Amino acid sequence: MKRLKSLVVLSACISLLVNLFAIPQIALAANLGVTKDTLQSSRISFNGRVKSPTASGSSHVWMYTTSSTPYFSINTANLHAGDTVVIGTGTYTIDGIVDDDEFTLTTTLAAGDADDTDPIYLKSKPQHVITFTTASAVANGFFQVLVPAASAGSNDGVADTTGFDFGGGTIDVTPTNATGYTFSNNAATASGGTYCTAPANYHCFEFHYSGAGGVGTAINLTVGQTSGTNSLIAPAPANTALGAAESYKVIVKNFTNGSNPATATATDQTSTTIGLIEAVRVSATVDPSITFTITGVAAAQTVCGTGSTTDVDTTTAVNQPVAVPFGTMSLNAFKTAAHLLTVSTNGQNGYVVTAVEDDQLGLGGGTSPFIIDTDCTSTACTEVVQQNWNVATGYPGFGYTLATGSGTTMAFVNDNTFKSRKFPSLADTESPITIMSSTGVSNSHTGYICYRLAVDATQAAGDYENMIIYTATATF
C-alpha cells in the first residue's frame, strides 16, 4: 500500500487565505492575460488512519485524531455519506458520519482492512478549467499547462500531499476552438515523462493548434471531466491546521510550433494560484491575494429583507465553525437561515463566488428519500430563474435568496416576497452558478445568502443532509 507524503466546506463555509509560491519568470516572455484555473470543486483529498477498536466484520470505523506523517486528515469533517473511500486495500462506501473520529460503512470491513494504522483515503478529482487571454499572435503553436506534482509517486492513483496525482491512467484534455486557434493533437503527460522533465515536479498538458493565433483572444482549456473520470487527484492535507488553505501554483505557457517545452523558452507565460481547503464540509477555491469568509447570522434577523426573518442561528454549531442547523421542522411551515459572505481581493479584474450542492437533502445524507429542491410556487423557479416563494403549504422544498451587503453585485436579490432559486446539483452534473461578483479590486465586499426549507406530510421522518460548495475565484 502507498504511504502518502505530507481542505471543502460542505453545507456551510470557511475563511481562507492563499499564499503565493515564488515561480521564476522566463526572461522577455510577456504575461498571458486574465489567467485563472477554476476547479469544479476545491474539496481536498483525505488521508487518515484506522484506529482500534475498528475490527474486520464490522461496519464501524474509528480513526486517529492525531497526525503521523504523511497522515494529516484527523477529522471526519472532510467525509460525507456516500463517499467512496479506500481502507487498507479495500474500497468502501460511507453510510454515515457518527462524530469527529467515527463513521460507518454500507458494508463490513474485510480481513486485513481493519488493522490499527491502516490507511484511509478519499480521492477528490475535480475538473480544472484554465482560462486566459493571449499576449502574442503565435501561429501554429501550442499552449502548455503545468500542474504541481509530488516529487515521488505522482502517478500511482493515490492522493499525494505535495501536488496533484496523475491517477495512474489517462487524463482528458479538452480545448475550445477560438478565432485563430483550431486545436488537435492534445497531450497529457505525467511528471517526468517525455517533454515533461522541466520544470521538475509538474504534470504537463499540451494543447496544439493550427491557425494564425491572435492578441487578446480568450482561451478556454479543460483538464479532466466533471464526473471525475480521467481527472487529476487533488492533494491530501500536508500537515496544515483544519480550516487553513493549502495553495498550489499553476503555470501556463505559449510555445512556437515544434518547440521542446522541456528546453525551449516560451513566447509568453504566466501563473496563477489555486487554494484547496478542508473544513466542515464546505469548499472554496481561491486565487492569490484573496480572502473569503462565511459568517453565521443569528436568528430573528432581516438581513435578506422583509418576509425572510431568520428562524435559525447559524453562528454556532457542534463540531462546525459554520453550519445550517434547521433542526426539527413543522409541516407546511418555513424555516429560514442566513450566512454573511465576505470577499477581499487585490485582483484588478475582480472576483466571482459560485455555489453548487452535492445533491438534494437526503435522508442520513444519502440519495433517497430526499427533500426536493424547491419549485417555488405555481410559477416555477429554476437554478437560473428566481420566483416568489412565500407560501409553504403545497410548495415544500429547499431553496435560497440573496441580498446585497456592500460593494458586491449579487446575481439577484429578494424583493420582500422571498424571490428564490434552487441550487444546481453536482449529482445531476450541473455547473456551479455565480451568486456574487465584482469587476474590480474589493475591500470586504459583503452579501447575504438566505436558505429556506419547508416540508409537508408526505416527507418521511428522519435526519436530512446535503452539502453546499462555495468557490471564490479572483481574476488578475
| Phi, psi dihedral angles at 386 (to 5 degrees) | -95, 145
3-class DSSP assignment, residue 11: coil
Please give the CATH architecture assigned to the domain spanning 46-122: Beta Barrel (2.40)
Burial class for 336, CB neighbours closer than 10 Å (0-12, 13-18, 19+)? buried
Rounded average pLDDT per 10-residue block, the chain, 476 residues: 32 30 33 86 88 96 92 88 93 93 96 96 92 96 96 91 93 97 96 93 97 96 94 85 72 95 94 66 47 92 87 71 87 96 90 95 91 94 95 96 94 89 95 94 93 96 93 85
Give the single-character DSSP code of 427: G
Which residue has 494543447 as its cell numbers? 207
Instruction: Round the CA-based radius of gyration of the chain to a whole number and report it.
Output: 23
C-alpha cell at 85: 473511500
pLDDT at residue 323 in the model: 85
Residue among 237, 236, 204, 238 nearest 221 (CA): 204
22: which residues sit within 8 A by CB, 6+ positions away?
Answer: none
Instruction: Give the DSSP letter string of 205-271.
Output: EEEEEES---SS-EEEEEES-TTSTT-PBPPPP-SPPTT--EEEEEEEEEE-TT--TTTSPPSEEEE
92: amino acid identity, one letter = Y
Neighbours of 83 (CB within 10 A): 20
Report the distance separating Cα 321 and Cα 458, nearest Å.
33
pLDDT at residue 5 in the model: 31
pLDDT at residue 346 in the model: 87
> Domain limits of the chain?
22-39+126-276, 46-122, 290-474
- List for the chain the helix, strand, coil content (%; round to 5): 0, 40, 60
Residue among 148, 181, 146 nearest 163 (CA): 148
Residue among 249, 345, 240 nearest 291 (CA): 345
Residue among 128, 222, 232 nearest 183 (CA): 222
Give the predicted TM-score (pTM) of the model: 0.55
Q: What is the 3-state secondary structure (H, E, C) of 357-421?
A: ECCCEEECCCCCCEECECCECCCECCCCCCEECCCCCCCCEEEEEEEEEEECEECCCCCCCCEEE
pLDDT at residue 416 in the model: 80
CB 344 within 8 A of CB 444: yes
Report the distance separating Cα 90 and Cα 103, nearest Å.
16
C-alpha cell at 75: 477529522
Give the single-character DSSP code of 458: T
Report the distance separating Cα 32 and Cα 252, nearest Å.
8
pLDDT at residue 433 in the model: 96
pLDDT at residue 8 in the model: 32
CB 269 within 8 A of CB 253: yes
Neighbours of 295 (CB within 10 A): 17
pLDDT at residue 119 in the model: 95
Report the distance separating Cα 476 and Cα 460, nearest Å.
48
Report the distance separating Cα 207 and Cα 209, nearest Å.
7
Report the distance separating Cα 18 and Cα 28, nearest Å.
28
